[in-house]
């Protein structure tokens, strides 16, 4: 939407760009609200029909908030880098103070009201951010039907990628090349499509990094346990944490700094590769099972080509690269337990986690997983349409006969976390690595999840020969070392400035 009447393009502008325009008096927060609401109106259910947003804050509420922040800026100055900046939250984060419902994409919460804001909502509002909308998601953060196409919810419909020519294919695999991927799909698409410069979302296992990779945005999932999760859907409490997505490492840093309540991160954004040691995994060993992402030789060829180009550029700029590092594989993390993977542990926690989350709401009869099962069956025409007719993930968690004992959960989760974290830490130490990098289209997110570690996404380019989809790389670091990921992102942006671009399908739309 390159407009002749606007001093910025919402497809391109970063939050830091907007903050400078605000500081210089070129725009006001009230004006920003109007621009981003117009962009949502233009392309959410019309235009590109992205279905990335489920709800927007009432315009009168937004304008009142924006005018207040404009006045505060004039009288007392800004609170920080997010002062007066529109932001979007995943629709699994409670936001009643700004008049926004929280539905998790389910009709079970349509008409319900959260009784209090999530802590993360409060922190963002206190920082001066303007919560303009709630993002669509894989319903219940992908806790419904295991093989459901990512980005679909009963309330929000199917989120579409603004990069993919032809949209989501009718026969798409859950994370297929035509999909927006991950449960936080609307959050990533919203940033790429210019609905807001930044977004905040949750991740248990790939929910942030997967869609960020498909949307050509920078993203960071924080170390598990570093941010309060109250008021956020977190069925698998041992895995779930918060994170953010943005068009630049600086915006990402400013946003996660608010989540973490720290002022220490921005100083690491030097843009230099000096002293940074990067371990790259062997791409051929890190490919998704084709039941999740269909194998496509053109995609693999393009991915390898882009990785080689990236390695050449970052080494030319001072990075030390160690190839084919031996990162622990998903099958190895459950060694020493009778579990096939980590899903039974998440299902065990979901029963109590869901009930705890639903205690935040008034105006709904759904309180437990059993209630949700019955609601979905009673409202099958809405919740169980022909294309997604089952709710096996909910049923598995609700079934008391499938539950682990508390002792078994404690033993297995501790074993898996310690085994995985130790393996990652040992690899980092063995090669004196700053970070480990591999394809975002892989199970690296699962390694980060099991270990409770931070992981991010950097944009790498596009698969023009396939369907135009974006391609990303995951960046993994040790516990509490978000600063290392952000440091690498800043250097990455400087070395590969063309790795991300505005969606070509949206540039010049309607002009």
Same domain, residue pair 321 and 380:
no
Determine which helix (DSSP H) or strand (DSSP E) holds 241, and give its type and residue range: strand 241-246
Same domain, residue pair 207 and 284:
no
Same domain, residue pair 476 and 395:
no
Same domain, residue pair 95 and 138:
yes
CATH of the domain at 125: 3.90.1300.10
What is the mean pLDDT of the segment spanning 213-225?
98
Q: How many CB atoms lie within 10 A of CB 278?
A: 25
What is the mean pLDDT of the segment spanning 175-179?
98
Same domain, residue pair 320 and 282:
yes
Q: Which residues pair with 56 in a beta bridge?
A: 133
Same domain, residue pair 330 and 354:
no
Same domain, residue pair 329 and 209:
no
Q: Is residue 109 part of a domain?
A: yes
Q: Is residue 9 part of a domain?
A: no
Contact, 229 vs 242, CB < 8 A?
Answer: yes
Residues 359-369: pLDDT tens digits? 999 999 999 99
Q: Is residue 130 part of a domain?
A: yes
Give the per-residue SS3 of 130-182: EEEEEECCCHHHHCCCCCCCCCEECCCEECCCCCCCCCCCCCCCCCCCCCCCC
Confidence of residue 403 (pLDDT cuts 50, 70, 90): confident
Q: Is residue 112 part of a domain?
A: yes
Q: Is residue 507 part of a domain?
A: no
Same domain, residue pair 321 and 296:
yes
Residues 456-505: pLDDT tens digits? 999 999 999 999 999 999 999 999 999 999 999 999 999 999 999 999 99
Q: Is residue 424 part of a domain?
A: yes
The helix/strand/coil state of 27 is: coil
Q: Which residues contact 239 (CB under 8 A, 6 or more apart)?
A: 204, 205, 224, 342, 346, 449, 450, 452
What is the mean pLDDT of the segment spanning 236-257?
97
The helix/strand/coil state of 276 is: coil
Same domain, residue pair 161 and 91:
yes
Parallel/antiparallel/unpaired status of strands 198-203 and 218-221: unpaired
pLDDT at 511: 46
Same domain, residue pair 205 and 331:
no
Same domain, residue pair 328 and 316:
yes
Instruction: Find where tokens 């009142």 sit.
Output: 64
What is the mean pLDDT of the segment spanning 41-66?
98
Contact, 413 vs 345, CB < 8 A?
Answer: yes
Where do the H-state alpha helices sit in 238-331?
249-260, 297-316
Q: Which residues pair with 473 in a beta bridge?
A: 439, 458
Q: Which two tokens stand for residue 400?
A: 């008391």
Domain around 43: 15-264
Per the model's pLDDT, the better-predicted residue between 4 and 381 turns out to be: 381
pLDDT at 5: 67
Residues 267-322: pLDDT tens digits? 999 999 999 999 999 999 999 999 999 999 999 999 999 999 999 999 999 999 99
Residues 150-164: pLDDT tens digits? 999 999 999 999 999
What is the mean pLDDT of the segment spanning 4-30?
93
Contact, 104 vs 234, CB < 8 A?
Answer: no
Q: Is residue 510 part of a domain?
A: no
Is residue 1 pLDDT above 70, yes or no? no
Residues 182-199: pLDDT tens digits? 999 999 999 999 999 999
Q: Which residues contact 221 (CB under 8 A, 6 or more apart)?
A: 203, 208, 209, 241, 242, 243, 445, 448, 454, 455, 456
Name the residue among 64, 69, 207, 84 with its Cα closest to residue 135: 207
Q: Which residues contact 222 (CB under 8 A, 6 or more apart)?
A: 241, 242, 243, 256, 259, 260, 454, 482
Percentage of the chain exceeding pLDDT 90: 95
Determine which helix (DSSP H) or strand (DSSP E) holds 65, and give its type and residue range: helix 59-76
Residues 339-398: pLDDT tens digits? 999 999 999 999 999 999 999 999 999 999 999 999 999 999 999 999 999 999 999 999
Total domains in the chain come to: 3
Same domain, residue pair 217 and 107:
yes
Q: Which residues contact 446 (CB under 8 A, 6 or more apart)?
A: 205, 206, 330, 333, 342
Confidence of residue 399 (pLDDT cuts 50, 70, 90): confident
For the ranges 4-13, 253-262, 288-297, the lowest mean pLDDT is seen at: 4-13
pLDDT at 416: 97
Q: Is residue 272 part of a domain?
A: no
Q: Which residues contact 458 (CB under 8 A, 6 or more apart)?
A: 218, 472, 473, 475, 488, 489, 492, 499
């Amino acid at each position: 939407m390159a407009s002749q009447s606007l001093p910025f393009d919402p497809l391109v502008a970063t939050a830091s760009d907007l903050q400078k325009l605000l500081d210089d008096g070129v725009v006001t927060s009230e004006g920003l609200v109007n621009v981003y609401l117009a962009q949502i109106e233009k392309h959410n259910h019309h235009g590109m029909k992205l279905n990335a947003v489920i709800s927007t804050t009432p315009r009168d509420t937004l304008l009142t908030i924006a005018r207040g922040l404009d006045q505060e800026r004039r009288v007392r100055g800004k609170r920080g880098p997010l002062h007066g900046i529109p932001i979007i939250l995943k629709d699994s984060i409670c936001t009643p103070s700004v008049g926004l419902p929280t539905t998790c994409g389910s009709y079970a919460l349509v008409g319900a009201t959260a009784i209090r804001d999530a802590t993360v909502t409060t922190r963002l509002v206190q920082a001066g951010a303007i919560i303009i909308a709630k993002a669509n998601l894989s319903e219940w953060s992908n806790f419904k039907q295991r093989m459901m196409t990512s980005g679909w919810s009963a309330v929000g419909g199917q989120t579409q990628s603004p990069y993919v020519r032809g949209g989501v294919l009718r026969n798409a695999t859950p994370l297929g090349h035509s999909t927006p991927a991950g449960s936080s799909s609307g959050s990533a698409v919203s940033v790429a499509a210019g609905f807001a410069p930044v977004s905040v979302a949750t991740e248990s296992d790939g929910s942030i990094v997967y869609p960020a990779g498909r949307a050509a945005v920078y993203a960071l999932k924080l170390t598990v346990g570093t941010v309060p999760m109250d008021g956020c859907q977190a069925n698998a409490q041992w895995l779930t944490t918060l994170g953010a997505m943005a068009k630049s490492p600086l915006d990402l840093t400013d946003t996660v700094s608010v989540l973490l309540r720290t002022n220490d991160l921005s100083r690491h954004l030097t843009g230099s590769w000096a002293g940074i040691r990067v371990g790259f995994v062997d791409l051929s060993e890190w490919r998704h099972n084709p039941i999740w992402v269909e194998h496509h030789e053109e995609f693999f060829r393009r991915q390898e080509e882009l990785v080689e180009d990236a390695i050449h550029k970052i080494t030319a700029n001072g990075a030390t690269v160690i190839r084919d590092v031996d990162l622990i594989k998903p099958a190895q993390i459950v060694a020493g337990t009778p579990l096939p993977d980590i899903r039974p542990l998440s299902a065990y926690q979901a029963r109590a986690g869901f009930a705890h989350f639903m205690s935040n709401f008034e105006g709904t009869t759904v309180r437990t997983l059993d209630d949700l099962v019955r609601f979905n069956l009673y409202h099958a025409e809405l919740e169980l349409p022909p294309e997604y007719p089952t709710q096996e993930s909910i049923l598995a968690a609700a079934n008391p006969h499938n539950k682990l004992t508390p002792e078994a959960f404690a033993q297995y989760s501790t074993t898996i976390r310690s085994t995985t974290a130790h393996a990652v830490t040992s690899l980092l130490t063995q090669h004196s690595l700053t970070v480990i990098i591999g394809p975002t289209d892989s199970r690296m997110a699962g390694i980060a999840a099991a270990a409770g570690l931070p992981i991010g996404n950097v944009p790498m380019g596009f698969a023009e020969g396939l369907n135009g989809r974006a391609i990303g790389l995951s960046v993994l670091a040790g516990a509490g070392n978000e600063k290392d990921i952000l440091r690498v992102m800043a250097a990455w942006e400087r070395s590969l400035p063309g790795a991300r671009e505005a969606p070509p399908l949206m540039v010049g739309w309607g002009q």
